[in-house]
Structure 1
């Protein structure tokens, strides 16, 4: 990993944990044990670092989730693996992250919105269509409508005006929404298999 990549990876780590607004260029320099001057040799400002950090995060997520969808034998195995990825991705994530993006970094916010409304939404819709065909999801569901609902649920959990962080644990909230979504779409056969996958995943983590 070269110095440019280290700066972006280090900044992404700080943004994930503390949010974006509260992390300064000085914080990034200290975290990486380099001078702020060194950062400015490669990047013109914080906006550029935020956008590249977000791109890194989205690229990693896409690679991870593409692997999940490629290797899963059925729609429910996909969901159980997605749940595992979520528990990892949302661990220690600061819920102010998306608010900071939207308010202070419009270019990065536009990138996130495009990723959410295209890649994530399409993956969810594909999973729903697959699950209906396999008989694990209720045949009367509308895959496109529910895919849109699901991606908005993810974003809603970041909204501290609706779910204040002093009242709700962000990771637990995301998993609660996910669990509620799954149980709204599965058939009895699907619920039985999903519970089996979930227990296997939780057992492997402990």
Structure 2
């Protein structure tokens, strides 16, 4: 791992813990323990740091998802592993991280949304398709529509006007949105796989 990648990891952890706007650029440099000269050499501005951090996070997520799903025994287990990971991430991420990106860095937020609508769309579609072929998801589901609905649920979850983070536990919202929906598209055999997973991991 390069020095810059290490720095982006540290910046990501800081943003997810405190939000993006909690620290000014000088405060960020201090917490990242780098000089202004080093910062200027690597990043054009704080906005540049935020953009590169989000891009770095996207690439990390891709590798992480491959790693955590490689031992899944079925399509439904694979999608539930991703769901469980999403719940875990939301629990440890300050809601201000998302709202700061939405409000202060709309171009960066668009990058995150584009990731959902391209990479994540194909990822979910492929898993659902394999689940249908295996008899775990109902054969009468519209794959394109169900995939789109599942992605739109992410937007619903992350909309602070719909679910203000000071009023709602976002991980519980995540659980309520996805787990019950997934049960609805499962076959009887798929439901048994899902129920076993829920009870084993206590999502």
Same fold, TM-score > 0.5, yes or no: yes
- For the residue of structure 2 that corresponds to 1:58, the secondary structure is helix
1:14 aligns with 2:11: no
Taking structure 1 as reference, are residues 110 and 164 closer, same or farther at Cα in structure 2, changes over 3 Å only?
Answer: closer
CA shift, 1:2, in A, is: 4.1
Provide the rounded CA distance (Å) in 2 between the counterparts of 1:158 and 1:68.
24
CA shift, 1:106, in A, is: 3.4
- For the residue of structure 2 that corresponds to 1:96, the secondary structure is helix
Residues 92-171 of structure 1 aligned to structure 2 (within 5 Å): 92-171=92-171
Taking structure 1 as reference, are residues 36 and 180 closer, same or farther at Cα in structure 2, changes over 3 Å only?
Answer: farther
Taking structure 1 as reference, are residues 68 and 144 closer, same or farther at Cα in structure 2, changes over 3 Å only?
Answer: farther
Structure 2: give runs of 5+ residues left out of the alignment.
Answer: none
- 1:195 is aligned to 195
Structure 1: give runs of 5+ residues left out of the alignment.
Answer: none
CA contact (8 A) 1:96 1:160 kept: no
CA contact (8 A) 2:183 2:194 kept: no
- For the residue of structure 1 that corresponds to 2:92, the secondary structure is coil
**Which runs of 4 or more aligned residues in structure 1 lie more than 4 Å from their structure 2 counterparts after TM superposition?**
none
Which TM-score applies when normalising by structure 1?
0.88
CA shift, 1:171, in A, is: 1.8
Deviations 1:108-140 (A, max 9, x none): 223212211011111111111111111111111
CA contact (8 A) 1:80 1:201 kept: no
- For the residue of structure 1 that corresponds to 2:95, the secondary structure is coil
CA contact (8 A) 1:25 1:36 kept: no
Residues 19-30 of structure 1 aligned to structure 2 (within 5 Å): 19-30=19-30
The count of aligned residue pairs is: 203
